[in-house]
Amino acid sequence: MANAVYPPYPPTLTQAEQEYLLTNLKDWSITHGLAVRPTSSYVTEDLDPARALATTAPVTLFPSLFPRSCFDQARAVSQAYSELYSAIAADEEWLGEIVKELLEIDDFIENLWKVHLAVKKEGYAQSLQLGLFRSDYMVHVSDRNSDSRLSVKQVEFNTIASSFGGLSSQVASLHRYLHSVGAYPEVTSSLINDASLQCSGSVPQLASGLAKAHQAYVESDKPNRPVCVLFLVQDVERNVFDQRHLEYALNTDHGVRTFRLPFSRVLEDTSLDQDRKLLYTPPSFSGKQWEVSVVYFRAGYAPTEYTSQRAWDARLHIERSAVIKCPGILTHLAGSKKVQQVLATPQSPHLARFLPDKLAADKLLATFAPIYPLDESEAGLEARKLATDPQTAQKYVLKPQREGGGNNIYRSEIPGFLQSLPKTKWPAYILMEMIEPPTQGNAIFRNGEVQSGEVICELGVYGACLWRDKVENEVVKGREVLENFEAGYLLRTKGAGSSEGGVAAGFGSVDSCCLLDL
């Protein structure tokens, strides 16, 4: 049934047509920074010792088809999702109760919470916070033959290091360019046309979010030194051009100075003054100092980045400082899968606490797929039955409290995995119903090769949100939202047979939407 949703797609190309399309795709992508550093399996280190080469990011040859109603639905809830997650991050007591359940079974969550407690003891030095969020969805096909047969269901909500905003603007432009030079045969013109191809404003919008936070810092803290935004990055980053697009937009469109600081160098290159302002001394500027307005985390979200106490000291150092964090540690914690589960467990009462507007809450509710705890609550015991039975487990995915891809356990592997784990550790995971999006045909260009076949898509909608926390008796209780706007979209596409979808992790590709009315 699910397979019959889309018309036959994409058109078959002759060899000459495919060569024309690929030549244009390869040249356009490098010219416009739709690029990544190559993996060492594609270009070995001895061939590129200076790490100077770049290659086309994994992309689809054609823009994938996407139901217009679903695209609109996902965009329509973007601001409400930012409202929800900023409210959660500003409700320390509620979040604390959730985190408490994970403290003894998840070291990473425990350590993040400890950073929060340490800063709380001394008092937070900055009440402004920035979220550059991304809510990810797949199309769900319901059995009911009604008008709303197709809808989006949320895969996850990202509150830290939501990536690909840089490349997604580019890939939408690439597909538009390929269309304009006739790389898509005439027969597709009823599907691929100027009205159906969707641009993504993610570069200007995410940059605008960062610029607004920078501006708010400058206005409220009145620095008397040069000011910069710091991109906190991993030591080895293949997806560097994605980040560079945001840096260059900040520089060119907003006149904001940016620097890239590897997470491992935080304690070497930054210091705090007596007001806990974060000062950055770039090694390349012999002693010159910048005051930092915003630290934008594109690192620090995975346990593997915290291999020593020094890394935790670095995280604490930033959190203590008066810089605006994107995100702060409570917002990072608000993005854990456990929070998503608590909201989305059937009959959960929690959504109303954060979104009293019933209409807005109902729209969000419609995007939730069922998610269960694996603890000893009634819902948890029910979920344990579903997850340990090989038959029912087929419909589920098991997720730990992790980000960045490659951590989930799918379908038939769930029962065996749980058996290998002491039962006391089970509550560290959540059990989510698999969304089964309709498949369609497309081709992915990756590492110089074209792979054609059935694919499935995941739509991400970015949101930028700037707010000011209200602190009562040293507890964060509520906030005032200063900015909240949708910030473009991302489409990621992977082979229909693959469970994971991470582009950087080597499973998927970046894509853009060709909307169609279904």
The reply to whether 404 sits in an annotated binding site is yes
CB of 147 to ligand ADP, least distance (A): 24
Question: Which CB, 92 or 156, lies closer to Mg ion?
Answer: 156
Q: Is residue 106 part of the contact set for ligand ADP (CB under 6 A)?
A: no
Q: Is residue 399 part of the contact set for ligand ADP (CB under 6 A)?
A: yes
CB of 335 to ligand ADP, least distance (A): 9
The amino acid at residue 202 is S
Question: Is the four-CA dihedral 264, 267, 270, 275 of positive or negative sign?
Answer: positive
Vertex 223 angle, CA 218 and 228, to 5°:
65
E-strand stretches of 3-117: 35-36, 55-56, 59-60, 64-67
Q: Is residue 405 part of the contact set for ligand ADP (CB under 6 A)?
A: yes
- Residues listed for the chain: 518
477: left (phi over 0), alpha (psi -120 to 50) or beta: beta
376 by Cβ neighbours in 10 Å (0-12 / 13-18 / 19+) ranks as exposed
| Among candidate residues 422, 427, 485, 439, the one with its CA nearest the CA of residue 103 | 427
Tell me the β-bridge partners of 441.
454
CB of 136 to Mg ion, least distance (A): 5
The whole-angstrom separation of Cα 200 and Cα 374 is 38
| Among candidate residues 193, 163, 190, the one with its CA nearest the CA of residue 178 | 193
403 is in the binding site of which of Mg ion, ligand ADP, none (Cβ under 5 to 8 A by kind)? ligand ADP
101 is in the binding site of which of ligand ADP, Mg ion, none (Cβ under 5 to 8 A by kind)? none
Q: Is residue 92 part of the contact set for ligand ADP (CB under 6 A)?
A: no
* CA 496 to each of CA 156, 367, 485, 500: distance values in angstroms, whole numbers, following the listed order: 19, 22, 32, 10
Binding mask 438-477 for ligand ADP (x = CB under 6 A): --------------------x-------------------
253: left (phi over 0), alpha (psi -120 to 50) or beta: alpha
329 HSE (CA, 13 A, CB side): 28
Binding segment (CB under 6 A) for ligand ADP, from list 89-97, 281-289, 398-406, 460-468: 398-406
222 is known as an active-site residue: no
* CA 317 to each of CA 19, 49, 467: distance values in angstroms, whole numbers, following the listed order: 52, 34, 22
Question: Which CB, 138 or 476, lies closer to ligand ADP?
Answer: 138
Binding segment (CB under 6 A) for ligand ADP, from list 75-83, 121-129, 263-271, 499-507: 499-507
What residues from 224 to 253 belong to the interface with ligand ADP (CB under 6 A)? none
The reply to whether 239 sits in an annotated binding site is yes
Q: Is residue 188 part of the contact set for ligand ADP (CB under 6 A)?
A: no
Q: How many residues bind ligand ADP (CB under 6 A)?
A: 19
Q: Which residue is nearest to ligand ADP (CB)?
A: 501
Which residues contact Mg ion by CB under 5 A? 156
Residue ranges at the known binding site: 134, 156, 158, 160-163, 237-239, 243, 298-301, 337, 399-408, 410, 432-435, 458, 492, 494, 500, 503-504
- Catalytic residue numbers read 134, 156, 158, 163, 337, 399, 403-404, 492
Annotated binding-site residues for Mg(2+) read 156, 158, 403
Can you give the binding site for ligand ADP, defined by CB under 6 A?
136, 138, 155-156, 369, 397, 399, 403-405, 407-408, 432, 434-435, 458, 499-501
